[in-house]
Chain A
Amino acid sequence: MRPGARSTQLAAAALVALAAGAVAGWLLHGGGRPPQPERVGAALLLPQRAPLPAFRLAGTSGPVTADGLKGRWSVLFFGYTHCPDICPTTLAALAAALDALPPQARGRVRALFVSVDPRRDSRARLADYVAYFGAGIEAATGDTDQIERLARAVGAYYALEEPGPDGGYLVNHSASLFLVDPAGRFAGVISPPLEAKALAGTLARLTGGAAP
Protein backbone atom coordinates (compact mmCIF):
# COMPACT_ATOMS: atom_id res chain seq x y z
CA MET A 1 0.00 0.00 0.00
CA ARG A 2 1.00 3.61 0.12
CA PRO A 3 4.06 3.90 2.32
CA GLY A 4 4.47 6.32 5.17
CA ALA A 5 1.10 5.99 6.85
CA ARG A 6 0.20 9.34 8.30
CA SER A 7 0.07 10.51 11.87
CA THR A 8 -2.14 8.37 14.00
CA GLN A 9 -0.69 4.96 14.57
CA LEU A 10 -2.08 2.79 17.31
CA ALA A 11 -0.50 -0.59 17.38
CA ALA A 12 -2.03 -2.38 20.34
CA ALA A 13 -3.63 -5.43 18.81
CA ALA A 14 -6.41 -7.20 20.66
CA LEU A 15 -4.27 -10.29 20.83
CA VAL A 16 -1.64 -8.40 22.75
CA ALA A 17 -4.30 -7.31 25.22
CA LEU A 18 -5.52 -10.87 25.52
CA ALA A 19 -1.99 -12.11 26.07
CA ALA A 20 -1.30 -9.41 28.63
CA GLY A 21 -4.49 -10.31 30.43
CA ALA A 22 -3.53 -13.95 30.42
CA VAL A 23 -0.04 -13.21 31.78
CA ALA A 24 -1.43 -10.92 34.46
CA GLY A 25 -3.87 -13.61 35.47
CA TRP A 26 -1.12 -16.19 35.54
CA LEU A 27 0.94 -14.00 37.89
CA LEU A 28 -2.05 -13.34 40.13
CA HIS A 29 -2.75 -17.02 40.39
CA GLY A 30 0.77 -17.78 41.56
CA GLY A 31 1.94 -19.48 38.42
CA GLY A 32 -0.78 -22.08 38.08
CA ARG A 33 -2.54 -22.72 34.80
CA PRO A 34 -3.24 -19.29 33.36
CA PRO A 35 -6.90 -18.41 33.17
CA GLN A 36 -8.07 -18.84 29.61
CA PRO A 37 -10.15 -16.46 27.55
CA GLU A 38 -13.72 -17.66 27.58
CA ARG A 39 -15.64 -18.14 24.39
CA VAL A 40 -19.27 -17.03 24.55
CA GLY A 41 -20.86 -17.47 21.16
CA ALA A 42 -18.78 -15.43 18.74
CA ALA A 43 -17.16 -13.42 21.53
CA LEU A 44 -13.84 -14.03 23.18
CA LEU A 45 -13.97 -12.75 26.76
CA LEU A 46 -10.93 -11.78 28.77
CA PRO A 47 -10.17 -13.67 31.97
CA GLN A 48 -9.02 -10.42 33.57
CA ARG A 49 -10.81 -7.19 32.84
CA ALA A 50 -9.43 -3.72 33.37
CA PRO A 51 -11.56 -0.60 33.76
CA LEU A 52 -11.42 1.83 30.84
CA PRO A 53 -9.34 4.95 31.43
CA ALA A 54 -11.15 8.27 31.61
CA PHE A 55 -12.01 9.63 28.17
CA ARG A 56 -14.58 11.96 26.68
CA LEU A 57 -16.12 11.85 23.23
CA ALA A 58 -19.02 13.76 21.71
CA GLY A 59 -21.79 11.32 20.95
CA THR A 60 -25.00 11.51 18.98
CA SER A 61 -26.85 11.11 22.30
CA GLY A 62 -24.62 13.35 24.40
CA PRO A 63 -21.13 12.96 25.80
CA VAL A 64 -19.63 9.48 25.89
CA THR A 65 -17.36 8.78 28.84
CA ALA A 66 -15.94 5.76 30.63
CA ASP A 67 -18.44 6.24 33.46
CA GLY A 68 -21.28 6.76 31.00
CA LEU A 69 -20.69 3.35 29.49
CA LYS A 70 -21.40 1.65 32.81
CA GLY A 71 -24.68 -0.10 33.46
CA ARG A 72 -25.02 -1.82 30.11
CA TRP A 73 -22.92 -3.92 27.78
CA SER A 74 -21.35 -1.73 25.13
CA VAL A 75 -20.41 -2.90 21.67
CA LEU A 76 -17.85 -0.57 20.12
CA PHE A 77 -16.93 -0.45 16.47
CA PHE A 78 -14.18 1.85 15.22
CA GLY A 79 -14.54 3.13 11.68
CA TYR A 80 -15.31 6.17 9.51
CA THR A 81 -18.10 7.28 7.23
CA HIS A 82 -15.91 7.45 4.10
CA CYS A 83 -15.56 3.69 4.43
CA PRO A 84 -17.44 2.08 1.55
CA ASP A 85 -17.31 -1.59 2.37
CA ILE A 86 -16.50 -2.91 5.81
CA CYS A 87 -18.14 -0.23 7.98
CA PRO A 88 -21.58 -0.36 6.33
CA THR A 89 -21.33 -4.14 6.21
CA THR A 90 -20.53 -4.34 9.91
CA LEU A 91 -23.12 -1.77 10.97
CA ALA A 92 -25.82 -3.50 8.92
CA ALA A 93 -25.00 -6.81 10.61
CA LEU A 94 -24.92 -5.17 14.03
CA ALA A 95 -28.25 -3.44 13.42
CA ALA A 96 -29.86 -6.69 12.31
CA ALA A 97 -28.49 -8.42 15.41
CA LEU A 98 -29.80 -5.71 17.74
CA ASP A 99 -33.20 -5.81 16.06
CA ALA A 100 -33.32 -9.56 16.60
CA LEU A 101 -32.78 -9.27 20.36
CA PRO A 102 -35.72 -9.60 22.74
CA PRO A 103 -36.60 -6.16 24.18
CA GLN A 104 -35.18 -6.97 27.60
CA ALA A 105 -31.81 -8.01 26.20
CA ARG A 106 -31.86 -5.06 23.80
CA GLY A 107 -32.19 -2.73 26.77
CA ARG A 108 -29.01 -4.12 28.25
CA VAL A 109 -26.75 -3.38 25.32
CA ARG A 110 -25.58 -0.21 23.68
CA ALA A 111 -23.94 -0.10 20.26
CA LEU A 112 -21.50 2.69 19.58
CA PHE A 113 -19.84 3.54 16.28
CA VAL A 114 -16.65 5.44 17.11
CA SER A 115 -15.37 7.50 14.21
CA VAL A 116 -11.59 7.59 14.04
CA ASP A 117 -11.84 10.30 11.38
CA PRO A 118 -13.04 13.36 13.35
CA ARG A 119 -11.75 15.75 10.69
CA ARG A 120 -14.37 14.57 8.20
CA ASP A 121 -16.98 13.07 10.49
CA SER A 122 -18.92 15.83 12.17
CA ARG A 123 -21.46 14.90 14.78
CA ALA A 124 -24.28 15.77 12.36
CA ARG A 125 -22.81 13.54 9.67
CA LEU A 126 -22.41 10.72 12.18
CA ALA A 127 -25.99 11.12 13.35
CA ASP A 128 -27.28 10.75 9.78
CA TYR A 129 -24.95 7.87 9.18
CA VAL A 130 -25.97 5.68 12.11
CA ALA A 131 -29.63 6.64 11.81
CA TYR A 132 -29.61 5.04 8.38
CA PHE A 133 -28.68 1.67 9.89
CA GLY A 134 -31.22 2.11 12.66
CA ALA A 135 -31.61 -0.20 15.64
CA GLY A 136 -30.57 2.61 17.96
CA ILE A 137 -26.88 2.48 17.08
CA GLU A 138 -25.15 5.56 18.44
CA ALA A 139 -22.05 7.27 17.17
CA ALA A 140 -19.30 9.32 18.75
CA THR A 141 -16.06 11.00 17.91
CA GLY A 142 -13.82 13.62 19.44
CA ASP A 143 -10.29 14.82 19.84
CA THR A 144 -7.66 12.48 18.49
CA ASP A 145 -6.07 11.93 21.89
CA GLN A 146 -9.44 10.94 23.38
CA ILE A 147 -10.16 8.52 20.54
CA GLU A 148 -6.70 7.04 20.90
CA ARG A 149 -7.13 6.65 24.63
CA LEU A 150 -10.26 4.57 24.17
CA ALA A 151 -8.87 2.66 21.18
CA ARG A 152 -5.67 1.79 23.01
CA ALA A 153 -7.57 0.61 26.09
CA VAL A 154 -9.44 -1.99 24.05
CA GLY A 155 -6.62 -2.82 21.64
CA ALA A 156 -8.24 -1.26 18.58
CA TYR A 157 -5.98 -0.16 15.78
CA TYR A 158 -6.39 2.55 13.19
CA ALA A 159 -4.14 4.45 10.83
CA LEU A 160 -4.89 7.18 8.33
CA GLU A 161 -3.31 6.70 4.93
CA GLU A 162 -1.72 9.33 2.74
CA PRO A 163 -4.30 11.47 0.94
CA GLY A 164 -4.75 10.90 -2.79
CA PRO A 165 -4.60 13.61 -5.45
CA ASP A 166 -8.10 14.82 -4.60
CA GLY A 167 -7.39 14.99 -0.87
CA GLY A 168 -9.39 11.89 -0.05
CA TYR A 169 -7.80 9.28 2.14
CA LEU A 170 -8.50 5.82 3.42
CA VAL A 171 -8.30 4.68 7.02
CA ASN A 172 -7.18 1.22 8.00
CA HIS A 173 -8.91 0.10 11.14
CA SER A 174 -9.78 -2.86 13.31
CA ALA A 175 -12.77 -4.73 11.97
CA SER A 176 -13.64 -6.35 15.30
CA LEU A 177 -16.34 -5.38 17.73
CA PHE A 178 -14.98 -4.47 21.16
CA LEU A 179 -17.00 -5.28 24.24
CA VAL A 180 -17.22 -3.23 27.41
CA ASP A 181 -19.06 -4.89 30.28
CA PRO A 182 -21.64 -3.18 32.50
CA ALA A 183 -18.91 -2.45 35.05
CA GLY A 184 -17.17 -0.30 32.44
CA ARG A 185 -14.31 -2.73 31.84
CA PHE A 186 -12.90 -3.86 28.53
CA ALA A 187 -14.32 -7.37 28.40
CA GLY A 188 -13.45 -8.94 25.06
CA VAL A 189 -13.82 -8.91 21.31
CA ILE A 190 -15.99 -10.31 18.58
CA SER A 191 -13.84 -10.86 15.51
CA PRO A 192 -14.94 -10.81 11.88
CA PRO A 193 -16.52 -12.23 9.87
CA LEU A 194 -19.59 -10.92 11.65
CA GLU A 195 -22.82 -12.63 10.89
CA ALA A 196 -26.05 -11.09 12.18
CA LYS A 197 -27.58 -14.26 13.57
CA ALA A 198 -24.45 -15.39 15.42
CA LEU A 199 -23.99 -11.86 16.66
CA ALA A 200 -27.54 -11.74 18.01
CA GLY A 201 -27.04 -15.05 19.78
CA THR A 202 -23.82 -13.82 21.32
CA LEU A 203 -25.35 -10.57 22.53
CA ALA A 204 -28.35 -12.43 23.94
CA ARG A 205 -26.04 -14.70 25.93
CA LEU A 206 -23.91 -11.83 27.14
CA THR A 207 -26.83 -9.73 28.30
CA GLY A 208 -28.80 -12.67 29.67
CA GLY A 209 -26.30 -13.42 32.40
CA ALA A 210 -26.06 -11.14 35.40
CA ALA A 211 -23.30 -8.58 35.20
CA PRO A 212 -20.18 -9.96 36.82
Chain B
Amino acid sequence: MSHPGPRTEPPQSHASRRGLAHRPARFRLGAICGLGAAAAALVASAAAAAPARLEVTGHVRAAPPGAPVMAGYLTLRNPGRRSVAITGAASPAFARVEVHRTVMRDGVARMEPVQRLEVPAGGTVRMAPGGMHLMLIRPRRALRPGETVRVVLRFAEGAEQAVTLPVRRGGMAGMEDGHHHDGPGH
Protein backbone atom coordinates (compact mmCIF):
# COMPACT_ATOMS: atom_id res chain seq x y z
CA MET B 1 0.00 0.00 0.00
CA SER B 2 2.96 2.37 0.45
CA HIS B 3 3.96 4.37 -2.56
CA PRO B 4 7.57 5.36 -3.10
CA GLY B 5 8.39 9.03 -3.60
CA PRO B 6 6.31 12.09 -2.80
CA ARG B 7 2.58 11.97 -3.25
CA THR B 8 -0.12 14.55 -3.17
CA GLU B 9 -3.12 13.80 -1.03
CA PRO B 10 -6.53 14.59 -2.46
CA PRO B 11 -7.35 17.31 0.12
CA GLN B 12 -4.39 19.43 -1.07
CA SER B 13 -5.42 19.26 -4.70
CA HIS B 14 -8.97 20.18 -3.75
CA ALA B 15 -7.58 23.19 -1.93
CA SER B 16 -5.60 24.32 -4.98
CA ARG B 17 -8.66 23.84 -7.16
CA ARG B 18 -10.73 26.04 -4.89
CA GLY B 19 -8.02 28.69 -4.88
CA LEU B 20 -7.78 28.88 -8.66
CA ALA B 21 -10.70 31.22 -9.29
CA HIS B 22 -9.22 33.94 -7.10
CA ARG B 23 -5.89 34.22 -8.87
CA PRO B 24 -5.02 36.89 -11.49
CA ALA B 25 -5.24 35.73 -15.12
CA ARG B 26 -1.49 35.84 -15.71
CA PHE B 27 -0.92 33.29 -13.04
CA ARG B 28 -3.61 31.00 -14.30
CA LEU B 29 -1.50 29.09 -16.86
CA GLY B 30 1.08 28.24 -14.23
CA ALA B 31 -1.64 27.34 -11.84
CA ILE B 32 -3.25 25.06 -14.43
CA CYS B 33 0.10 23.35 -15.03
CA GLY B 34 0.42 22.89 -11.31
CA LEU B 35 -3.13 21.61 -11.15
CA GLY B 36 -2.34 19.13 -13.89
CA ALA B 37 0.56 17.77 -11.89
CA ALA B 38 -1.62 17.65 -8.81
CA ALA B 39 -4.33 15.89 -10.79
CA ALA B 40 -1.83 13.32 -12.05
CA ALA B 41 -0.73 12.72 -8.50
CA LEU B 42 -4.37 12.57 -7.45
CA VAL B 43 -5.08 9.81 -9.97
CA ALA B 44 -2.14 7.84 -8.61
CA SER B 45 -3.17 8.23 -5.02
CA ALA B 46 -6.86 7.83 -5.74
CA ALA B 47 -6.14 4.40 -7.14
CA ALA B 48 -4.98 3.42 -3.69
CA ALA B 49 -7.55 5.33 -1.66
CA ALA B 50 -10.66 4.85 -3.82
CA PRO B 51 -10.02 2.39 -6.62
CA ALA B 52 -11.47 2.80 -10.08
CA ARG B 53 -15.00 1.61 -9.95
CA LEU B 54 -16.22 -1.31 -11.98
CA GLU B 55 -18.97 -1.29 -14.54
CA VAL B 56 -21.26 -3.97 -13.21
CA THR B 57 -24.23 -5.68 -14.82
CA GLY B 58 -25.90 -8.91 -13.87
CA HIS B 59 -28.81 -10.48 -12.11
CA VAL B 60 -29.89 -12.61 -9.22
CA ARG B 61 -31.41 -15.86 -10.40
CA ALA B 62 -34.89 -16.41 -9.04
CA ALA B 63 -35.02 -19.52 -6.91
CA PRO B 64 -37.62 -22.02 -5.73
CA PRO B 65 -39.79 -20.87 -2.81
CA GLY B 66 -37.96 -21.19 0.48
CA ALA B 67 -34.63 -21.71 -1.23
CA PRO B 68 -31.98 -21.17 1.44
CA VAL B 69 -29.41 -19.99 -1.07
CA MET B 70 -29.55 -18.14 -4.35
CA ALA B 71 -26.99 -17.31 -6.98
CA GLY B 72 -26.09 -14.01 -8.57
CA TYR B 73 -24.17 -13.63 -11.79
CA LEU B 74 -22.23 -10.47 -12.51
CA THR B 75 -20.30 -9.13 -15.44
CA LEU B 76 -17.55 -6.91 -14.09
CA ARG B 77 -15.74 -4.55 -16.41
CA ASN B 78 -12.80 -2.56 -15.20
CA PRO B 79 -12.41 0.58 -17.32
CA GLY B 80 -9.53 1.77 -15.17
CA ARG B 81 -5.81 1.44 -15.58
CA ARG B 82 -5.32 -0.55 -12.44
CA SER B 83 -6.41 -4.01 -11.54
CA VAL B 84 -9.28 -4.12 -9.04
CA ALA B 85 -9.66 -6.93 -6.54
CA ILE B 86 -12.98 -7.86 -4.95
CA THR B 87 -12.39 -9.40 -1.54
CA GLY B 88 -15.88 -9.43 -0.14
CA ALA B 89 -19.54 -8.74 -0.70
CA ALA B 90 -22.66 -8.17 1.33
CA SER B 91 -26.33 -7.49 0.77
CA PRO B 92 -29.13 -6.24 3.00
CA ALA B 93 -31.32 -8.90 1.38
CA PHE B 94 -29.16 -11.83 2.54
CA ALA B 95 -27.49 -13.00 5.71
CA ARG B 96 -24.22 -13.50 3.88
CA VAL B 97 -22.73 -13.16 0.42
CA GLU B 98 -19.67 -15.00 -0.86
CA VAL B 99 -17.99 -15.25 -4.21
CA HIS B 100 -17.77 -18.88 -5.27
CA ARG B 101 -16.63 -20.85 -8.23
CA THR B 102 -18.10 -24.19 -9.26
CA VAL B 103 -15.21 -26.41 -10.18
CA MET B 104 -15.86 -29.55 -12.15
CA ARG B 105 -13.36 -32.32 -11.63
CA ASP B 106 -13.93 -35.87 -12.82
CA GLY B 107 -17.60 -35.08 -13.26
CA VAL B 108 -17.95 -33.91 -9.67
CA ALA B 109 -19.07 -30.37 -8.95
CA ARG B 110 -17.38 -28.69 -6.02
CA MET B 111 -17.72 -25.11 -4.90
CA GLU B 112 -14.64 -23.18 -4.00
CA PRO B 113 -14.71 -19.81 -2.32
CA VAL B 114 -12.98 -17.08 -4.28
CA GLN B 115 -11.23 -14.98 -1.64
CA ARG B 116 -9.91 -12.47 -4.09
CA LEU B 117 -11.48 -11.83 -7.48
CA GLU B 118 -9.13 -9.83 -9.64
CA VAL B 119 -10.58 -7.76 -12.48
CA PRO B 120 -7.58 -6.71 -14.55
CA ALA B 121 -7.21 -3.18 -15.87
CA GLY B 122 -9.29 -2.85 -19.02
CA GLY B 123 -10.56 -6.39 -18.54
CA THR B 124 -13.89 -8.06 -17.97
CA VAL B 125 -14.79 -10.94 -15.69
CA ARG B 126 -18.02 -12.77 -16.41
CA MET B 127 -19.78 -14.93 -13.89
CA ALA B 128 -22.05 -17.61 -15.32
CA PRO B 129 -24.07 -20.65 -14.25
CA GLY B 130 -21.76 -23.59 -13.73
CA GLY B 131 -18.85 -21.26 -13.06
CA MET B 132 -18.21 -18.25 -10.90
CA HIS B 133 -21.17 -16.83 -9.00
CA LEU B 134 -22.24 -14.85 -5.99
CA MET B 135 -23.50 -17.28 -3.40
CA LEU B 136 -26.34 -15.46 -1.70
CA ILE B 137 -26.99 -17.14 1.60
CA ARG B 138 -30.31 -17.09 3.49
CA PRO B 139 -32.54 -14.51 1.83
CA ARG B 140 -34.23 -12.36 4.48
CA ARG B 141 -37.48 -12.68 2.53
CA ALA B 142 -38.67 -14.34 -0.66
CA LEU B 143 -37.43 -12.54 -3.76
CA ARG B 144 -39.55 -12.61 -6.87
CA PRO B 145 -38.63 -11.96 -10.48
CA GLY B 146 -38.85 -8.25 -11.19
CA GLU B 147 -37.63 -7.20 -7.76
CA THR B 148 -34.17 -5.76 -7.29
CA VAL B 149 -31.43 -6.59 -4.86
CA ARG B 150 -28.70 -4.30 -3.59
CA VAL B 151 -25.27 -5.88 -3.31
CA VAL B 152 -22.20 -4.12 -1.99
CA LEU B 153 -18.84 -5.21 -3.37
CA ARG B 154 -15.85 -4.69 -1.13
CA PHE B 155 -12.46 -4.07 -2.69
CA ALA B 156 -9.09 -5.07 -1.36
CA GLU B 157 -8.27 -1.43 -0.55
CA GLY B 158 -11.32 -1.15 1.66
CA ALA B 159 -13.52 0.87 -0.69
CA GLU B 160 -16.97 -0.36 -1.59
CA GLN B 161 -19.29 -0.19 -4.55
CA ALA B 162 -23.02 -0.79 -4.42
CA VAL B 163 -24.79 -2.40 -7.35
CA THR B 164 -28.47 -3.04 -7.91
CA LEU B 165 -29.36 -6.33 -9.54
CA PRO B 166 -32.70 -7.46 -10.94
CA VAL B 167 -34.12 -10.81 -9.90
CA ARG B 168 -35.04 -12.91 -12.87
CA ARG B 169 -35.74 -16.46 -13.88
CA GLY B 170 -33.65 -18.55 -16.18
CA GLY B 171 -30.07 -19.35 -15.64
CA MET B 172 -29.16 -22.27 -17.77
CA ALA B 173 -25.55 -22.50 -18.78
CA GLY B 174 -25.10 -20.84 -22.14
CA MET B 175 -28.42 -19.02 -21.89
CA GLU B 176 -27.12 -15.86 -20.26
CA ASP B 177 -25.33 -14.26 -23.15
CA GLY B 178 -28.34 -12.58 -24.67
CA HIS B 179 -28.80 -10.47 -21.58
CA HIS B 180 -25.49 -8.70 -21.24
CA HIS B 181 -25.84 -4.96 -21.22
CA ASP B 182 -22.18 -4.13 -21.31
CA GLY B 183 -21.50 -3.77 -24.99
CA PRO B 184 -18.08 -2.59 -26.09
CA GLY B 185 -19.38 0.96 -26.48
CA HIS B 186 -20.02 1.36 -22.74
Contacts and interface: CB of A to CB of B under 8 A. Distances in A.
A26 interface: no
For the side of the interface on B, what is the size category? Answer: 20 to 34
A1 B110 contact: yes
A195 B64 contact: no
A129 B107 contact: no
Given A88-B171, A195-B174, A128 B107 contact: no
A157 B69 contact: no
B61 A88 contact: yes
A22 interface: no
B21 interface: no
Contacts of B95: 166
B102 A133 contact: no
Interface stretch (B84-92, B129-137, B157-165): B129-137
A81 interface: yes
B69 A172 contact: no
23 contacts: A13-B106, A84-B71, A84-B133, A85-B102, A85-B133, A86-B109, A88-B61, A88-B63, A89-B129, A92-B172, A93-B173, A132-B63, A133-B64, A170-B111, A172-B110, A173-B108, A174-B107, A191-B107, A192-B107, A193-B130, A194-B173, A195-B172, A196-B175
A46 B175 CA distance: 30
B59 interface: no
Interface of B: 61, 63-71, 95-96, 100, 102, 104, 106-112, 129-130, 133, 135-137, 170-175
Contacts of B64: 81, 88, 128-133
A174 B108 contact: yes
Nearest to A158: B108
Given A92-B170, A93-B173, A168-B137, A82 B108 contact: no
A83 interface: yes
Given A85-B111, A192-B104, 9 more contacts: A84-B100, A84-B133, A86-B130, A128-B65, A131-B64, A170-B111, A172-B108, A172-B111, A189-B107
